[in-house]
Every structure is written in C-alpha cells, then in structure tokens.
Chains A and B, each alone.
Chain A
Amino acid sequence: MRILPNGDAAILVELPDLDAMLGLYAALAADPPPGVADLVPAARTLTLLLGPGARPADVARAVRDARPGAAAPVGGAVTVPVVYDGADLGEVAELTGLSPAEVVAAHTGTPWRVAFTGFAPGFGYLTGGDPRLNVPRRETPRVRVPAGSVGLAGRFSGAYPVESPGGWRLIGRTDAPLWDLRRDPPALLRPGAEVRFVRAGGPA
C-alpha cells in the first residue's frame, strides 16, 4: 500500500490489485475515518475525498490501520439478461477467434464482478470474466450508444445506463434497470457486486 496526496483535500491509496482495493473499500465504507466525504474506488486505487473537518495524517493512519474487509459481494449476485445482437458481435468474434455463439457462451459462462463505477451514473466496470474476451476498444468511439447496450473493452465488460457517446465494442443489450432514481440505491451495479449475464436472445 502506498498513500499519496491528491491535492490538499484528497488522498490516493495505491493497492497491489483489485481484490486489495475492494477489501480496503469494504473496510472503509463500513467504518469511514472521521471527515472522509466520499470513497472513489478505481482499478487498483482508492481515492478518499476529505471534508472540511478531516485531518489528512489521521485519515492516512486510519487507512494503514484498516483491516481489509472480506470484499464480500454486495447484496448477492446480480443477474443481467442480455439479447446478444450487438453491432460489434461479429467483430468481437473475429478479434477473439471465437464464433459469435462462443462469444456469448464466454460472456455468460463466467461470473463478473463490479470493480468500480464511473463514466456515467450507474455504469459499472466489470472484471473477472473470461480472459478470451479481452478486445481493444473501437478506434473511433460512437457518438451515440443506446441505453442498455452491453459492451467489452480491454478486460472490462459493462452496460450503458443511459444513452451516451462510447467506444466499447457492443455485443448486446439489456433491459435490466441499471439506473433508476426512484430506487434506493439507484444503481443496480455497485463495487464488489457479482454479476451474471444470461442469454435472453442471440446466437447459441
């Protein structure tokens, strides 16, 4: 673990890997050090935003003393039904050397996990899936990616909660309620949660 200043009102904690990050995140989310306003999980860092009353040295000590939580999946596994008819499914098949049906089998065959969120409200970066699905993002991002689109980029998979620009390779779409402000919490996918994609249509 390495603790770096991120300006005078945040600290950045570097961790060896995603599991260590999720473990520290679980511990600090359950028992936040005094004055910490928010925790921002990322691939292998955790950023702590400090409120006006926080003492940076005390927060850093609390981080060093934290016993990593079990990084237990939050609220059990989330099931996301997908119709695998994405515009880039054929391209992903070519890039991976799999058939479209094998891409679908690979995407649904291994559980994923929400590593962190960002990009848009309710957008979760999912990791831990089948390593054969590691494809680069599109050279030219799309100006409009419809809400519910399910895509791949690098070692991540994800689903767009709202229409937005995006460069991920789209393999399908879901009608799972990824973001709903009338629900508490509004995001379906939260850091640590296990996610299972199930085929609701497309090549099998």
Chain B
Amino acid sequence: MIATGPRATVQDLGRPGHAALGVGVAGAADAGSLRLANRAVGNPEGAAAIEAEFGGLRVRVRAPGGLFAAVTGAPAPLTVDGRAEAPYSVLHVPDGAELRMGAPPSGLRSYLAVRGGVDVPPVLGSRSADTLAALGPDPLGPGTVLPVGPPPDGVPLLGVLPVAPPPAGDVELGVVPGPRADWFTRDALHGLFTGEYEVTSEIDRVGMRLSGPRLARAEKGELPSEGTVAGALQVPPSGLPVLFLADHPLTGGYPVIGVVASADLGRAAQARPGQRLRFRPRPAPFLGAGPDDAEERA
C-alpha cells in the first residue's frame, strides 16, 4: 500500500453469529459491489477485498505473474503504471506495477478485489475490519502489506460487468416502517416519506448523519436498549435520523422509525455528503399473528 484515501479497510461479508460475545456483523458497507468484484475475478463471493472511500488508493503489486483485479462500487478512474484502465472490468496488474485509483465521479466506496482474495488472518471467521469494535485488520495506510491467497478454481470474467454506477443525484431508498414507528407522530412519518434528507459530512462505516425534517416523537419514554440492524434510521433526541451502516452498534437506546430495505442498503452506503435521500415506504414482511399481537392491537 503506497497511499490511501480518507479510509480504506479490508472487508468481506462480515462475521454474523457472534452477537452473544458483543460482536456485530460488520463486512462490506455495499455488499453487492463486493460480491460482484469477487465474481469478476473468479473468487468466492465472500472473499476479502479492499473497501476504499473516495478512491485515493495507490497499490504496488508484488506477485510472480502479476494479479487479476477488478474494481466495483464507486467507479474510480484507474491507472496501471500510468495506463488508463476501466472500472467494472477485469484488469491484469503485472508484477511490480502500480495500480492507482483516482477520485470517483459518483459513489463513495470502491471495492478492489484481487484474484485469490486478501488473505489476512481471519478474526472470528471474518477478515472484515470492524471500525467501531476495533476488531479485524487495522485500517490500511502507507506501508501496509496485504497477502493474497492462492488462485481459486473459478475463472475471471471477460468483458465489462453489467452494472450501473451509483447515482450522482438524488437517491431513492425503500424503507420498511418500524420497529418503533409508533413512537413518532403522524407528522413525523409523513415527513420521513415526503421530505428530503441530505447526507451530512458526518459519515463513516458506523453510519451517516442526515439533515432534513426533524422527526418528532409521540412517545416520550425511555426505550430500553434493543438490537439494531444495518439500514436502521435511528432517531436521537435532536429528531435528525442517523442511518446505520455495517459497523453500527449491536444495540441502541433511541427508537428506530424505519429500516432501509436490504436491497437498497448498498446504494445508501454509496451516498456522499451533499446528496439527497428520498425514502419511500415498503411493506413489512408478513410475520403472521400470535394471540398477543391481537391483544396489543385491542
């Protein structure tokens, strides 16, 4: 690693299954883009790759015969020893060559996968850096050396990957109301789904602070801490929501008014400061009904 942008980390699909230890899932903020980059170079979908925010990456490859690589997510302009290469396609980086990633014209997080995957030692079954829990590999910086695993059985894809870059304008995201939508006024829910929320400069892998219509609470009590999920729109006393991303805390004590649909979470993670988000209601999954549910409604 010769240089990085504001933040670059190793990510895979995270470490679910350890909540009892106080450990969250983490993993790529835009998991779809990670999967795609891995498929492109013939890796298993969950292999570890580099998640780079705002580009800025400079990497020198040291591998006999060079390395196959692919960049997805934010379409950062690429050069290999000064020669322009396209994102969303498989490129070959010769031994000793420098791969440079410029600033992406849209989107926030680029995924650089190499054939064989980043082979740092796993922690609790994952190579993901959890920046909140300080678990997994340290964030990357100049001088970091990342080992690459043996080539997988899969073959690299040829041609350009069929994928659209993250939008540069407004971003529409589906949101399932709840689990604590009933803690808010009707006006708040209306405001959430009709207003626009701007992504502030306070963004990291834990979440992004949004500015827009304040969401007023109807229920003034204290919520005992409960489990939170990536995509949750948690509303602190300010009334301005925080959209949780991959490294969100396991539990939180502020009510969650809605949760971004899992299919839209990657696009949420690609929104950058100044971009506007519009939330659209999505139906909750059907969960059936138990006797107590009816009682609660009565």
Residue among B176, B178, B287, B290 with most chain A CB within 10 A: B287
A2 and B296 alpha carbons, distance in the complex (Å): 8
Interface members, chain B 233-271 (any A CB < 8 Å): 249-251, 256, 259-262
A11 near B: Cβ within 8 Å?
yes
Which residues of A have CB within 8 Å of B36?
none
Main secondary structure of the interface of B (DSSP, over half): loop
Which residues of B have CB within 8 Å of A38?
16-19, 25
Contact of B226 among A42, A49, A124 (CB under 8 A): A42
Once the chains bind, are A7 and B262 in contact (CB under 8 Å)? Answer: yes
Which residues of B have CB within 8 Å of A162?
134
* Chain A, interface residues (CB within 8 Å), range: 35 or more
Once the chains bind, are A120 and B133 in contact (CB under 8 Å)? Answer: yes
Contacts A3-B287, A7-B260, A61-B288 aside, 14 further interface pairs with beta carbons under 8 A come to A8-B284, A11-B285, A38-B16, A38-B19, A40-B227, A41-B20, A41-B227, A42-B227, A43-B225, A43-B226, A49-B16, A116-B225, A121-B133, A190-B20
Residues of A within 8 A of B (CB): 1-12, 29, 37-47, 49, 51, 56-57, 60-61, 64, 116-125, 161-162, 181, 185-187, 190-191
Shortest A22–chain B CB gap in Å is 11
Once the chains bind, are A8 and B226 in contact (CB under 8 Å)? Answer: no
Between-chain CB contacts (< 8 Å), 30 pairs: A2-B296, A4-B179, A6-B179, A7-B232, A9-B229, A10-B227, A11-B287, A12-B227, A37-B16, A38-B17, A38-B18, A40-B227, A41-B20, A46-B227, A47-B229, A49-B25, A56-B286, A56-B287, A60-B287, A60-B290, A117-B19, A117-B22, A118-B249, A119-B250, A121-B133, A121-B135, A125-B225, A181-B123, A185-B20, A190-B20
B293 near A: Cβ within 8 Å?
yes
A2-B296, A12-B227 known; A39 and B19 CB under 8 Å? Answer: yes
Once the chains bind, are B20 and A191 in contact (CB under 8 Å)? Answer: yes
Shortest A118–chain B CB gap in Å is 4
Which residues of A have CB within 8 Å of B116?
none
Once the chains bind, are A45 and B133 in contact (CB under 8 Å)? Answer: no
Residue among A2, A46, A125, A181 with most chain B CB within 10 A: A2
A103 and B231 alpha carbons, distance in the complex (Å): 42
Contact of B251 among A39, A116, A185 (CB under 8 A): A116
Residue ID in chain B nearest A65 by CB atoms: B290
Residue among A7, A43, A191 with most chain B CB within 10 A: A7
Which residues of A have CB within 8 Å of B250?
40, 117-119
Interface string of B269-286 (1 = CB under 8 A from A): 000000000000010111
* Chain B, interface residues (CB within 8 Å), range: 35 or more
Once the chains bind, are A3 and B293 in contact (CB under 8 Å)? Answer: yes
Residue ID in chain B nearest A11 by CB atoms: B287
Once the chains bind, are A6 and B178 in contact (CB under 8 Å)? Answer: yes
Once the chains bind, are A5 and B22 in contact (CB under 8 Å)? Answer: no
Which residues of B have CB within 8 Å of A191?
20
Which residues of B have CB within 8 Å of A61?
288
A54 and B173 alpha carbons, distance in the complex (Å): 23
A7 and B249 alpha carbons, distance in the complex (Å): 16
Shortest A136–chain B CB gap in Å is 12
Once the chains bind, are A7 and B22 in contact (CB under 8 Å)? Answer: no
B162 near A: Cβ within 8 Å?
no
A143 and B225 alpha carbons, distance in the complex (Å): 22
Which residues of A have CB within 8 Å of B285?
5, 8, 11, 56-57
A119 and B296 alpha carbons, distance in the complex (Å): 31
Which residues of B have CB within 8 Å of A124?
22
Shortest B287–chain A CB gap in Å is 4
A9 and B17 alpha carbons, distance in the complex (Å): 15
Residue ID in chain B nearest A6 by CB atoms: B179
Which residues of A have CB within 8 Å of B296?
2
A125 and B227 alpha carbons, distance in the complex (Å): 14
Once the chains bind, are B259 and A8 in contact (CB under 8 Å)? Answer: yes
Residue among A12, A121, A191 with most chain B CB within 10 A: A121
Closest 8 pairs (CB-CB, A-B): A47-B227, A7-B259, A40-B227, A117-B22, A43-B224, A5-B284, A56-B285, A60-B287
Shortest B76–chain A CB gap in Å is 28
Residue ID in chain A nearest B23 by CB atoms: A121
A191 and B293 alpha carbons, distance in the complex (Å): 27
Residue among B21, B23, B135, B224 with most chain A CB within 10 A: B21
